[in-house]
Structures are given as C-alpha cells and as structure tokens.
Amino acid sequence: MSKIIPQTIAERIIIALDVPTTEAAFRLVDQIPQASFWKVGLELFLRAGHEVIPELKARQKHIFLDLKLHDIPNTVAAACRILANYGVDLLTIHTTTGRTGLKAAQAALKESSQQLGISPVKLLGVTLLTSFSSRELAFDLKIPLELPDYILQMALLAQESDLNGVICSPQEATMIRQACGEEFLLVCPGIRLPSQQKKDDQQRTMTPQAAFQAGANYLVIGRPITQATDPAQAFQTLLET
C-alpha cells in the first residue's frame, strides 16, 4: 500500500470492522464500496486476521490494525516484526508501554518493513481509551493529573519516542496539535453525528466536522455507520455533515 495522502473527507474516515466473523466483515465492506479505510480490531484479528487483512489489501483498501499492543520492550518489538508482514497502514500501541518499549516497537517496524521492501507501518500511541472519564482516571487509576494534562503528556511521550502519531479523543485534538505540530498524526475515535445522542461506552465524543476543525487527521467511526439500517446512506450522510 502506498503512502497515505488523504485528499477527501471520505479518505479520512476509518470505518471500524467491529464484527466477529469474516462473513460479517465483508458484507459490511461490500455495502460501502466508496469507503477506502477500514479498522480491524482485536476481536476480528484474533478470529480471522489472516483472512481479512489480505482480502482488504486485494481490494485496495487502507487498513488500520488496532491491537493496542502493551508489553515489555522485547515482546512488543517481536510482535511488531511479525505484524509488519501484514503490510497494514496504521498500528496501535499503548503509550503506557513506556519510552523504551515504544522506541523498540518503532525500530522493529522500520527494520522489518525495510527488509520486506514495503512502506513502514505508521505506529500510533494510544493516549487514553475514550471510554475513560476524568473520575476513572483519578479514582480507578490513581493518576493525579487532570485528564487533558495526562493525555498531553502521553502524546508528547509518543512523539519523543519517534511514533508517527497518537490515538486521542477529538476533545484533546487541538491541544495535541498545538503541542506536537502539523506532521504528527491524530486519529480520533469517539465520533457521533449531531442527531445521535447515545454515546454507548464512549465518554469523550464530538461531531465529525468539529473533530476535523479541532485538528484530527482521521476519524474512526463504528456504530453510527455499522449499526445503521442503511450503512451506505449513513456513510454518505456523514460526508455531508
């Protein structure tokens, strides 16, 4: 897959294939042929990643492999050497893996991609899951920082560790863009249409237009499209919002 250079809003929308089977995945892909970027998450990857990813690539789709790696440096580096073989475009790792682990993962991806003769996978750090609230950060994780301050620190750690960008809620996008510059990729889940009040398990949400204005490069959108009666129409409506 060639270097990602999004030209249209459609190319900046990543649809989440949060489904349990290959059949369900490609039923959805076939329903929205104009969508060019798809997310393969942990559930689908564990069940059928070896089938789904090659088929998506055969269909000339971009792939966001959202596994949220988190382990000791040697283990995340070894995992990245294996995952490089899939030739996906984006891959995630938790920033709480730490500076040594983040650098080891990025180095392994670059080395393996070079050996394979493919474009390097862009490694993105997960700052804080969008299901977390300020209260949970303070009371459950016992982190004494305000939620925005914590997320900014994680983004800066990712940048200092040579990652290509981060996953963050759109509510933190402006702050991170100002601190990390224009070349740093911001990929934002937690997107809801203005007409959708239900947040599901997302705590920090924003509309697509507002998220792009805040500095997001890509938006990851699942249920507002995939659980719609007509996913293709939902995707088109989103582009026009």
Q: What pLDDT is recorded for position 35?
A: 95
Determine the Cα–Cα distance for residues 43 and 32; give it in Å rounded to an integer.
21
Could you give the C-alpha distances from 19 to 45, 89, 134, in angstroms and in order? Answer: 10, 20, 29
Look up the pTM and report it: 0.91
Classify the C-alpha dihedral 233-235-240-241 as positive or negative.
positive
pLDDT in tens, 24-65: 999 999 999 999 999 999 999 999 999 999 999 999 999 999
Alpha helices in 73-220 (DSSP H): 73-83, 99-116, 134-139, 147-160, 173-180, 208-214
Q: 163-185: per-residue pLDDT in tens?
A: 999 999 999 999 999 999 999 99
Which among 18-27, 72-81, 231-240 has the top mean pLDDT?
72-81
2 within domain boundaries = no
Please indicate, yes or no, if residue 4 is contained in any of the structural domains: no
Classified as helix, coil or strand, 105 is helix
* CATH number for the domain harbouring residue 120: 3.20.20.70
- What are the residue numbers of the active site? 68
If one counts the domains in the chain, the total is 1
Judge whether 3 lies within some domain.
Answer: no
